[in-house]
Amino acid sequence: MKAVLRWIALCLLAAVALQLYFVGRIALMAVVAPQSTAFERSEAWRITQEKGTLRWRQQWVDYAQISDQLKRAVIASEDDSFRNHDGVDWDALEKAWAKNAQAEQRAEQRKSAAPSTKPPKVVGGSTITQQLAKNLFLSGERTLLRKGQEFVLTVLLEQLLSKRRILEIYLNSVEWGEGVFGAEAAAQHYFRKPASKLNAFEAARLAVMLPRPKYFEKLPNSAYLSGRAGVITGRMGDAQLP
């Protein structure tokens, strides 16, 4: 019994130590830009293993050097209540769960008629802060434990950093193609111009790419990308910047 209690105590101590480590890392990000994220490191390893060489584009630029058009486009596309929520948009999350449940129910009905039916597309409800928490520290696995840690990290990010800093780090570290990370690299890669010079439609195209950047990198002229970018352009005027 004592051995079990000792093991439980050690696990709790390790969990507390890990959270304190995260607190220190995030607090430091208030003044020091992160050198890399967990997702970037995993992608660098994958690309190196698959292709034998690493082609990487990333350059940190300050918040003021990123076009307001891109900031508005990303907020309009990814998280339109970014400035007002506490890290989790519960309404968006509830809607996503409802959509996923309906899609799964329809898929089960189709599967009974056609066993080869593809699984339903999962709709996300993650905010910009949640996406940043996941990219900075976590793996891509989908478990309750990882989701719980994501929630804790989201709260820490919101408590220790300003909304402006969260958006700045996000825009400098998010993926926009294979080995293409951050707004400056994306602007140069797709439009041959700095991130500060992006116009509204260019910014909207980049924002629409975010859920599936590698896919849209191969289909830059797709009708969906252009059509959705037009929709986001129309919504950008309502996006509130931090």
Tokens of 99: 């959509």
CB atoms within 10 A of CB 147: 13
Q: What is the mean pLDDT of residues 107-120?
A: 52
d(CA 108, CA 57): 42
The region of weakest confidence among 26-30, 82-86, 171-175, 197-201 is 82-86
Percent residues over pLDDT 90 in the chain? 67
Residue 91 pLDDT > 80? no
3-state secondary structure of 20: helix
Q: What is the mean pLDDT of residues 144-170?
A: 94
Q: What is the mean pLDDT of the chain?
A: 87
Q: 89 vs 133, which has greater pLDDT?
A: 133
> Under a CB-based contact definition with an 8 Å cutoff, are residues 187 and 148 in contact?
no
Residue 109 pLDDT > 50? yes
What CA–CA distances, in Å, run from 193 to 30, 168, 183, 186, 216?
28, 19, 11, 9, 19
Query: What is the separation of C-alpha 146 from the centre of its chain, rounded to a whole number of angstroms?
Result: 15
Q: 19 vs 101, which has greater pLDDT?
A: 19
Question: In 62-218, where does DSSP find H-type helix?
Answer: 68-78, 90-113, 128-137, 144-160, 163-173, 183-191, 200-209, 213-218
d(CA 232, CA 157): 27
Could you give phi then psi for residue 181, rounded to 5 degrees? -130, 135
Tokens of 88: 């989790």
Residue 121 pLDDT > 60? no
Grade residue 24 by pLDDT with cuts at 50, 70 and 90. Answer: very high
Tokens of 124: 């996300």
What CA–CA distances, in Å, run from 154 to 10, 12, 72?
25, 21, 21
**What confidence tens digit (pLDDT) does each residue in 45-64 have?**
999 999 888 889 999 999 99
Residue 66 pLDDT > 90? yes
Q: What is the mean pLDDT of residues 66-77?
A: 98
3-state secondary structure of 34: coil
> Under a CB-based contact definition with an 8 Å cutoff, are residues 236 and 204 in contact?
yes
Taken in order of first residue, the domains within the chain and their CATH numbers are 35-89+125-238 (1.10.3810.10)
- How open is the CA angle 176-18-26, to the nearest 5 degrees? 50
Nearest residue to 217 via CA among 225, 68, 70, 130 = 225
Residue 120 pLDDT:
38
Could you give phi then psi for residue 241, rounded to 5 degrees? -90, 145
**What confidence tens digit (pLDDT) does each residue in 205-241 have?**
999 999 999 999 999 889 999 999 999 999 999 999 9
The region of weakest confidence among 19-33, 66-80, 129-143 is 129-143
d(CA 168, CA 60): 9
Grade residue 122 by pLDDT with cuts at 50, 70 and 90. Answer: very low
Residue 123 pLDDT:
43
